[in-house]
Structure 1
Amino acid sequence: MATSELSTDPPARATAAATASETLEDYTLRFAPRSYRRWSTGVVSVSALGGIAYLADFAIGANIGIAYGTTNALWGIGLFAVVIFLSGFPLAYYAARYNLDLDLITRGSGFGYYGSVVTNVVFATFTFIFFALEGSIMAQGLELGLGLPLWLGYAVSTLIIFPLVVYGMKVLSTLQVWTTPLWLLLMVAPFGYLVVSHPESVGAFFDYQGENGDGAASLSSVLLAAGVCLSLIAQIAEQIDYLRFMPPKTAENRRRWWTAVVLAGPGWVFFGAAKQVVGLFLAVYVIANVADGATVANEPVHQFLEIYREIVPGWLALALAVVLVVISQVKINVTNAYSGSLAWTNSFTRVTKHYPGRLVFVAVNLAIALVLMEANMFDFLNTILGFYANIGIAWVVTVASDIAINKYLLGISPKQPEFRRGMLYAVNPVGFGAMAAASVLSIACFFGLLGETLRPYSPLLAVGLALVLPPVLAVATKGRWYLRRTDDGIDAPLLDAEGNPSDLVLHCHVCDTDFERPDMAACQAHDAHVCSLCLSTDQTGEHVLPAQV
């Protein structure tokens, strides 16, 4: 490593320092250091599960049940839960163990430093699609309760989120923890009331054959239903945006740590699946017992309103329905806005080598979501989610396959995660190629280009290809494209004695800020250390270590 005077360019250092100061609030785009992770396992898990408060599950469950009947919908939901739990487990473990978001994990799990940019775009797309979906549901509630026209409700449901995501995890954790008890009460009460006071509704639910009355058990219908549900597979990335703040795993907290990781990581799907089943249950009841119920049965606000009306006076029922919708949508859309801003910012920073600030992309994400809402995307829900599911599956299952098979079974992919510029190749054909092939072929299947018979099988095709191709490509390339370097130039271990990321503090000479060991590398041009974000924004590449011969 060359030795010279440290950079003293005042404008460059001022810019780097400003960037570092902003990202320190939530360690945007960075490893989350131990000094910042002061929350307990319980607070982190409750905060993460607060992000699944969305009512879209109720709409999804209702839509697939109305389209394919209860039997096919339940089997589809079950398949969805199994796939998401198995694919989400290795990702959640890696995030909690090494304190990285999914983009940083993806870089070293088969995609490369620039290759994971495409997955960031996929995830950002997920966040604004579901922000728009949840915002649409909130606008329906505001129209019903306050008489706001939908177009204005869309705007209100968007603008109300912006100030809540300015301060990141500190505010989000407080919001999620304090609103969860009321949300649970308002959501569970109607379902419990129906089961107790209208036991016949259970039989009607299981007998429901769909809007066309032809919902007999069918593999193709099960797979089509599962395909819509599997659009939620990228939700694990939002769970990880909280799980990266888990405290170190120790002998003392081992059981609590694993419980929190499993429940708040892949375990989110059990709560999601339950909400989809309840959404269909409420929809079937509304269709059978409410005049013109079929026209609003897939709208969560109407589902809950009709049940509340049987329990309390009409004015209170309306108030409770609106409160539930608003709380639910705020809880999830702060997460959508926050996670989406991280994804956009991460991609932009790597491609342009310039950090514009996370709040810029909060505004971008919200603007895109608002356009989708105004375009009335709610009416095309099944098609949008079915299409997106293929891409989301290809990404998440590819990363899960690389971690579980290539890292732990085959030992081809480096087990310890890597995300820093200079340590990784620009693109790794293992993950990037596997995702590309799985996405293209499953989308072609989804649109019937491989034949109408195979069309319902597009989710299975995406899962199968994304699972098998990473180990095949890793073996074929002999793991050649994972690491550009194995030595980061710092003579200190990345992990402590218990396998947790080291809390050794080093100084970045570029932004003049201290960071913990996993975020740092040696500087090529100076006898000093440089942090990961300063490496990302290095326009000339002078600080980036050369490829290791």
Structure 2
Amino acid sequence: MATSQLEPQVDERATASAVGTAKAKSETLEDYTLRFAPRSYRRWAPGVVATSALGGIAYLADFSIGANIGIQHGTTNAILGILVAAAIIFVTGVPLAYYAARYNLDLDLITRGKGFGYYGSVLTNVIFASFTFIFFALEGSIMAQGLKLGLGVPLWAGYLVSSLMVIPLVVYGMKALSKLQVWTTPLWLLLMGVPLVYLVQAHPGSVDTFLDYKGAHGGGVSFSAVMLAAGVCLSLIAQIAEQIDYLRFMPAKTPENSRRWWTAVIVAGPGWVFFGALKQMVGLFLAVYLIANVAGGASIANEPVHQFLSAYEQMMPHWLAMTLAVVLVVISQIKINVTNAYSGSLAWTNSFTRVTKHYPGRMVFVLFNVTIALVMMEANMFDFLNDILGFYANLAIAWIVTVASDIIVNTYLLKLSPKTPEFRRGMLYAINPVGFVSVIVAGGLSIVAFFGGLGSGLQPYSPIIAVVLSVVLPPVIAVATKGRYYLRRNTDGLAHEMFDEHGNPSAAEIDCEACGDVFERPDMLASATGDGAVCSLCVATDRDGKHVLPAR
């Protein structure tokens, strides 16, 4: 494993691939951005990894989402929509979380081998990167609202502060993020939970008011309203990719830790959605309380800082309530936006390196992602929240459901897709039509429906169109192509076993002949030069292709 600085002149045979690898400076700092996470680095217990992953769902956007869909469609329709979305997110998240924790790969590396191909998953990386900066901007906007209310900071300055403050925290990757998430979670839970419990006890009638709330349209239960609400919530389906950025650091699964391992994977993987759904319902509850009890409450009901301020004021003096509301907003924003910045940097770096054969380092794209989010904040994207999320949901659904369908149907039922996920250059075709075409068709048609292109009758059901097509198309295309575009080669040319006796990726270490460093077996493959083995990053940055194994 590379734990020290990589020297660009460590081997006379080093080529452009070694230069690219050297720019990583330290695999600890770069956090295994483009490769398998080695066992020697994964020293956290399952509970620590799970807590770190769940810390990333501390965002306050859920409260805004729940408030927005409830204000528009009413409590009953909103709750049903939240539950529909949660069910879809949970079912599709299980196989993805398992693959990440079992094989220690992020979702991009899984996506490559599960239906998209080596370059085909660049498409889904852009979809995921968009998720990270959209929600970074949303959380930054909420923090700026809190700073303006509590400290009088202008919004533009609040946007800048919320963007810049996370950058130093993201530099050191999982080591720093795990500590941050574990240490801040108890305080965050206390600040969020106590005022809600007090409000329900002190004003029990607020529960009935909440349940009876009909929304802007004032109607009853409507299937189209439920689907519109679910569509907004389904924009969060890509959150599983951020959970996976933590779950890839799970320790090896053994008979001794099996129960704790599975509990951590399910709770911190697809299980995040239950916490998210609860937060959305709480957000709507607080919004209805503001509308019913605070003068002018309707205009601020979807802003989390006002939601919690109103709850705190029932318990304590205004100055203390304001202080705690601002503290809650700041802690929440830091907890989620370090994850957004971190995950976004992984996605952009993956795509850039594959396309250009050049590795600039993860920090370049931390800055890039934060800059895009800052521009969105300054453009006041908060006012267009429902439209942005409703549109984005179609693309996110197409990606996540397609990968889940490939794993569940094509791998385990039809056995057309290889069980072990492959991510290394040379082992995969450039593009696999199974996933690539499925996302384009499912995402494209659902977006057309979202904008009314398939008629007003189908417009509310664009998320369902995306789900159905993403479930059906991968097996149809896999059968039509007989699964021939998954693997370009059936062997990586190394005699070493890939897995240990428990089915975990092997911890055996092999020298890389290109950069001269040492990496664990799953990250290595034979070099086409015949001189030995080469690591996945050196192959990825090999501009001449001299290390890339031929098709076989």
How high is the TM-score relative to the length of structure 2? Answer: 0.97
1:20–1:511 CA contact under 8 A, matched in 2: no
Q: Deviations over 1:212-250 (max 9, x none)?
A: 4x2310000000000000000000000000000000111
Partner of 1:100: 105
Q: Is 2:225 the partner of 1:217?
A: no
Distance 2:483 2:165 in 1: 47
Among 503, 507, 510, the residue aligned to 1:503: 507
State the AA in 1 paired with 2:180. L
Any idea what SS the aligned residue of 1:27 has? coil
Q: Deviations over 1:501-529 (max 9, x none)?
A: 00010011111111000000000013211
Superposed, 1:261-276 pairs within 5 Å as 261-276=265-280
Distance 1:109 1:480 in 2: 12
What is the RMSD of the two structures over their aligned residues, measured on CA atoms? 1.1
Partner of 1:116: 121
Distance 1:381 1:16 in 2: 39
State the AA in 2 paired with 1:282. L
Q: Is 2:81 the partner of 1:76?
A: yes
Any idea what SS the aligned residue of 2:26 has? helix
Q: Is 2:530 the partner of 1:519?
A: no
1:72–1:215 CA contact under 8 A, matched in 2: no
State the AA in 2 paired with 1:248. A
Q: Is 2:302 the partner of 1:298?
A: yes
Partner of 1:374: 378
Superposed, 1:144-159 pairs within 5 Å as 144-159=149-164
1:22–1:357 CA contact under 8 A, matched in 2: no
Distance 1:482 1:511 in 2: 28
How far is 1:9 from its partner?
Answer: 4.5
2:104–2:249 CA contact under 8 A, matched in 1: yes
State the AA in 1 paired with 2:268. A
Q: Deviations over 1:147-190 (max 9, x none)?
A: 00000000000000110000000000000000000000000112
Partner of 2:4: none
How far is 1:454 from its partner?
Answer: 0.5
Among 324, 327, 339, the residue aligned to 1:323: 327
Any idea what SS the aligned residue of 2:176 has? helix
State the AA in 1 paired with 2:467. V
Partner of 1:3: none
Q: Is 2:539 the partner of 1:538?
A: no
How far is 1:532 from its partner?
Answer: 0.4
State the AA in 2 paired with 1:515. F
State the AA in 1 paired with 2:179. T
How far is 1:191 from its partner?
Answer: 1.3
State the AA in 1 paired with 2:452. G
How far is 1:20 from its partner?
Answer: 4.9
Partner of 1:172: 177
State the AA in 2 paired with 1:119. T
Distance 2:105 2:152 in 1: 44
1:110–1:482 CA contact under 8 A, matched in 2: yes
Partner of 1:88: 93
Distance 2:17 2:455 in 1: 58
1:221–1:456 CA contact under 8 A, matched in 2: yes
Any idea what SS the aligned residue of 2:519 has? strand
How high is the TM-score relative to the length of structure 1? Answer: 0.97
Superposed, 1:215-294 pairs within 5 Å as 215-294=219-298
How far is 1:21 from its partner?
Answer: 3.6
Distance 2:523 2:17 in 1: 18
Q: Is 2:340 the partner of 1:336?
A: yes
Distance 2:350 2:62 in 1: 28
Distance 1:421 1:12 in 2: 16
State the AA in 1 paired with 2:60. L
Distance 1:145 1:127 in 2: 27
2:243–2:268 CA contact under 8 A, matched in 1: yes
Q: Deviations over 1:85-137 (max 9, x none)?
A: 00100000000000000000000000000000000000000000000000000
**Gaps in structure 1 of 5+ consecutive residues:** 1-5
Any idea what SS the aligned residue of 1:310 has? coil
Over 3 Å counting, the alpha-carbon distance change for 1:13 and 1:543 in structure 2 is closer
How far is 1:421 from its partner?
Answer: 0.1
Any idea what SS the aligned residue of 2:23 has? helix
State the AA in 1 paired with 2:213. Y
Partner of 1:492: 496
Any idea what SS the aligned residue of 1:311 has? coil
Over 3 Å counting, the alpha-carbon distance change for 1:13 and 1:266 in structure 2 is closer
State the AA in 2 paired with 1:380. F
2:17–2:539 CA contact under 8 A, matched in 1: no
1:423–1:488 CA contact under 8 A, matched in 2: yes
Distance 2:181 2:190 in 1: 15
State the AA in 1 paired with 2:103. Y
Distance 2:392 2:21 in 1: 39
Distance 1:68 1:193 in 2: 27
2:66–2:284 CA contact under 8 A, matched in 1: yes
How far is 1:22 from its partner?
Answer: 3.1
Any idea what SS the aligned residue of 1:530 has? strand
Among 188, 194, 201, the residue aligned to 1:196: 201
Among 388, 394, 417, the residue aligned to 2:421: 417
Q: Is 2:148 the partner of 1:137?
A: no
Over 3 Å counting, the alpha-carbon distance change for 1:286 and 1:448 in structure 2 is same
Partner of 2:474: 470
Distance 1:407 1:277 in 2: 36
Among 384, 396, 399, the residue aligned to 2:403: 399
Q: Deviations over 1:522-547 (max 9, x none)?
A: 00013211000110000000000000
